[in-house]
Amino acid sequence: MSKLILMYYKNYLLKVILFLGLIQSIGATNIEQKLNSQDSSIKADNKWNIAYKDYFTLPEGLNGCFDLEDGLFFAKKYDKPCLIYFYKITSLACAESRHYLLSNSIIKQRLNENYVFIALCKDFNLKMPLNDWIVKSDGDSINLYGEKSVYIQKEIFGEDVEPAFYITDSDLNLKSTFYQDTSVSLFNDFLGNEPLVGKVNRDMYINFLPRYHSEIDEVNRFRFLECRSSDEIVHFFNNINWTEQFNSQKEKGGSNYPIFEVLNNSSSLYLSITIIPKENYYEFIVGLGIHREISNKIDRKVKLFKTNTSSKDDLNNILRLFMNESYDNLRNELKKLSFIKEMEDKYWNY
């Protein structure tokens, strides 16, 4: 009997003792009911009847679940191995794994066909339904989702690291592990000895990690984008409705303006574009910064420039130069703008 089965059996007994009378009135939907329901089959549109799907997302087209017990039941039901992924929302390395590996079309197809994918977030401390609590041997309970994910990784795999991928069977017998690498080829090998079909597209190995903050997002919070190629990133930028969001903030008396940012992982340089009010309209501000991770801490400094324009067409050349890594030409273009200041830049994202 695996460690997890023993752990959950022990937790079940403790819960009965500690919470008798409450369990029937509070808690998540029973997983057995999910498996017997009409919605229990694996669907291509990633709409499994699973817990926590309202709080977490996977790259478009990737099927998976966000609860270990859900995943183990699906693995048994469909006789598939599990791929368990531990990650943190605030980790750049985890964002890169999502961007380069889990968003790759070939990888997604292999995961959907051959595995039950289980994504467990370690730093999203949502309070869980009572049925999902863990009661430890000392009597203390874990009622937060992120703390439970950390506990599971330590208890079952003896580690506290992210991003981390574990291939197991439905009884959690470990088969293989993969850590902190964004090589599609190596990750494909980790999934099994099935060669990449056709010519490998350079977009699998692109260096750019784009993210975006809109007026509907919490102040200083960003979302990573699924854009893969340079053209897709530029296309996303051109489709941001800067004027609409500026007018919306003006009506609200707010200043939560959109921010678009692209990080080059190879050079550690990043380009940011936002707007500031100017009389009755706005103008673009461009930032060129350096992004470094030192001792698990992110250090960022950025130089800000006023463009004296509200036309995003004028920004396309600057963005293209950055995407093409034409840094000398980019700096020459920035010299034509009005330098504002150099400043520390905190790193935020969802």
Q: Note whether 115 and 174 are same-domain residues.
A: yes
- Write the CA distances from 230 to 22, 286, 312, integer angstroms: 54, 18, 17
Same domain, 148 and 11: yes
Q: Residue 204: what pLDDT?
A: 36
Say which amino acid occupies 59.
P
Decide if 183 is inside a domain: yes
pLDDT-based confidence at 350, cuts 50/70/90? low
Q: Which domain holds residue 222?
A: 206-344
Strand, helix or coil for residue 219: coil
Question: Is 197 contained in some domain?
Answer: no
254 three-class SS: coil
Structural domain tally of the chain? Answer: 2
Asked if residue 156 belongs to a domain, the reply is yes
Supply angle C-alpha 167, 171, 176, rounded to 5.
20
Round to whole Å and give the CA distance between 45 and 337: 47
Coil, strand or helix at 259: strand
**CB contact set of 180 (below 8 Å; sequence gap of 6+):** 93, 97, 161, 163, 164
- Average pLDDT over the chain reads 79
The span from the CA of 149 to the CA of 159, in Å, is 11
pLDDT band at 296 (very low <50, low <70, confident <90, very high): low
The reply to whether 30 falls in a domain is no
Confidence check: pLDDT of 197 > 70: no
Distance (Å, rounded) from C-alpha 271 to C-alpha 319?
Answer: 8
pLDDT tier at 47, thresholds 50, 70, 90: very low
Residues 11 and 77 in one domain: yes
pLDDT at 228: 65
Confidence of residue 349 (pLDDT cuts 50, 70, 90): low
Amino acid sitting at position 29: T
Task: Return the CATH number at 141.
Answer: 3.40.30.10
pLDDT digits (tens, 9 = 90+) for 122-156: 998 889 988 888 888 788 889 999 999 999 999 99
pLDDT digit string, tens, across residues 241-274: 999 999 999 899 899 999 999 988 777 889 999 9
What percentage of the chain exceeds 70 in pLDDT? 79
Q: Are residues 172 and 247 in the same domain?
A: no
